[in-house]
Structure formats: structure tokens, C-alpha cells
Amino acid sequence: MRLLRRRHEADAEVAGEAAAAAALEMAPIEPDTQAAAFFDVDNTMMRGASIYHFARGLATRGMFTTSDLFKFAIGQAVFRLRGNENPEHIKVARETALAFVAGAKVEDVVRLGEEIYDEVMADRIWAGTRALAQRHLDAGQRVWLVTATPVELARVIAQRLGLTGALGTVAESRDGIYTGRLVGDLLHGPAKAEAVRALARREGLDLTRCSAYSDSANDLPMLSLVGHAVAVNPDAELREHARKHGWPIKDFRTGRKATLAALPIAAGVGAVAGGIAAGVALRKHYRALD
């Protein structure tokens, strides 16, 4: 019996050494310093709007009512059906959201984002899009999320997916407390392209060698900036544009509608509405602590 045990131990040691040797035989991935991939989040990397799912997570914690969440969802659905963005509505919604979030702690938003991602968002990641991102990582390229979602939540998503990082809307903070002002504006539409362009300058990227992925025609400025644009789960306008310009189209929805009312997209107003819902919750939370 003792001899048999020693033989098993020896076999296990040999197997372990062989596995380690085989792993080291693989050629290390050479970093591709001039190419990167940029992925939109809502309905591209994740089903529905990330900020909406964040608001849902806050609702389950009793930080605001189901009625608040329902009103937010209906507001996004109406926005989607109208198919346009009123600049004045965006301005008012943005200012309202910022007023509510003022005074909240950045670390609390990050902590809640981590919890809610694990509980609500992880199962909503499109496996197909995640695989596309992994191909870039395997090729030694950096992969960034680019979203109107607050950068703190965007970073959580990027970290959980093992990506390089995230570009998101930046809310001003001092000493770890939100001031209630944005640094610039929402990272939406042309602002996404400006963020990618700025990152390319900082990181020495060749945009003609970079790739971008999105579901929305709102992201045409970003998609048109890079050498390789891909439409993922595209809306009708983006699908038509992609066909005209010969861009690849990837659809992981298996016949489902691009957007359901219960899973609203985040496009400008949608993202800010989510911020309002989250802001209301955080404001109620801090009032309760006073």
C-alpha cells in the first residue's frame, strides 16, 4: 500500500513537471503597442444599460422604490421610441443627476458597483462580444471600454472582464466626495471619439490599426475614427451604415429584438436618467445616515 502511494506521488510530480514545461514552451505574447480595441458597453458588451442594472441593484437594497425604477425604465423606453435627443432635455437631466449625486462618496459608488456587477450584470455579458475582446488581448493588444456610464462603474466592468481599462463620464470629486459637477460633459457621441483620440495620443496608438465596436449609430464618430469598425447587435441606422461601408456585422442576439423596454439602452438621456435614479438612491442613503 505504501509503495503504491509513493508511486502515485511520483507520477503526480512527473505530471506536474511536464505540465509546467509545456506551459513554458508557449511563446510569450508580444505586446502590440500601437493597436488597441475600443468597446461600447450598453447592448454591445452587455445586454441592456449598465446604469439601469446598477439602479436595479440599488433598488434591491432599498435605496429607492420600485416605482422610481419603473419611471426610469419607461422614460428610457419613450426616448428609444422617439429616436432623437433633445439637447435641452439632456442638459436638464444631467444637471438634475449631478445635483443628486453631490456629496456622495466615490468609494461607496465603487463598492456598490462591484457588488451589483457580481449580482446583476455578470450574467448579462454577451459571450460573443467578450470573445471578440479576448482575441485582441490574445494578440497582445489593449482593450478599453468606452461608455457614457460613470467612469467608476465602467472601471469595475473592465476589471471584472480582465480588460485594460475604461473611458467613461467623469464626475468631479474633491477629497473623495462628488462635487456635483462634471469634468467636461457626458462621454457620448462625439465625446467618445475625442476620448479615444486623446488616449491614442497619450499611449502612442496608431488609430488606423485600432478597432472599435458598438451597437449604436450614436457611436459613428468613434467607429469612423479607427481603421477597423465593427457593428455589434446594431440598431437599424448603424446596420445600414455598416453595410454601405463594408464593416463587419456581429449579432449575438439570436433573433431577439435589439432593445426591449425592460432592458433600455443607454444613449445620452438614457445614461443620464440612470444617473438620476442612482443619484436619488445615494442621496436618500446619505440622508438616512445624517
Name 61's Cβ contacts closer than 8 Å, sequence gap at least 6.
Answer: 112, 281
Task: Give catalytic status of residue 123 as yes or no.
Answer: no
CA distance 152 to 169: 9
The C-alpha cell at 258 is 435589439
Give the pLDDT of residue 221.
97
- Top-ranked range on mean pLDDT: pick from 52-56, 85-89, 283-287: 52-56
Write out 203-252 in H/E/C secondary structure.
HCCCHHHCEEEECCHHHHHHHCCCCEEEEECCCHHHHHHHHHHCCCEECC
Mean pLDDT is lowest, of 117-126, 158-167, 186-195, 258-267, for: 258-267
Task: Give catalytic status of residue 42 as yes or no.
Answer: yes
Regarding predicted confidence, which is higher, 264 or 155?
155
Total domain count for the chain?
A: 1
Give the pLDDT of residue 281.
46
Give the pLDDT of residue 262.
33
Instruction: Examine residue 117 and state whether it is found in any structural domain, yes or no.
Output: yes
Instruction: Examine residue 279 and state whether it is found in any structural domain, yes or no.
Output: yes
Instruction: Examine residue 135 and state whether it is found in any structural domain, yes or no.
Output: yes
Q: Decide: 90 and 272 in contact? Cβ < 8 Å.
A: yes
Give the pLDDT of residue 50.
85
Give the pLDDT of residue 65.
57
Chain mean pLDDT for the chain: 78
Give the pLDDT of residue 192.
95
Catalytic residue from among 11, 32, 42, 219: 42
Could you tell me the pLDDT band of residue 268, with boundaries at 50, 70 and 90? very low
Does residue 57 register a pLDDT over 50? yes
pLDDT digits (tens, 9 = 90+) for 13-47: 666 666 766 655 555 678 888 999 999 999 999 99
- Top-ranked range on mean pLDDT: pick from 59-73, 129-143, 148-162: 129-143
Give the pLDDT of residue 132.
98
CA distance 91 to 116: 28
Classify strands 177-182 and 211-214 as parallel, antiparallel or unpaired.
Answer: unpaired
Does residue 190 register a pLDDT over 50? yes
CATH assignment of the domain containing 151:
3.40.50.1000
Does residue 247 register a pLDDT over 60? yes
pLDDT digits (tens, 9 = 90+) for 90-147: 555 455 455 556 677 889 888 988 999 999 999 999 999 999 999 999 999 999 999 9
Give the pLDDT of residue 89.
52
Catalytic residue from among 11, 40, 118, 175: 40
Cell 488616449 found at: 199
Domain of 228, in residue numbers: 32-289
Instruction: Examine residue 8 and state whether it is found in any structural domain, yes or no.
Output: no
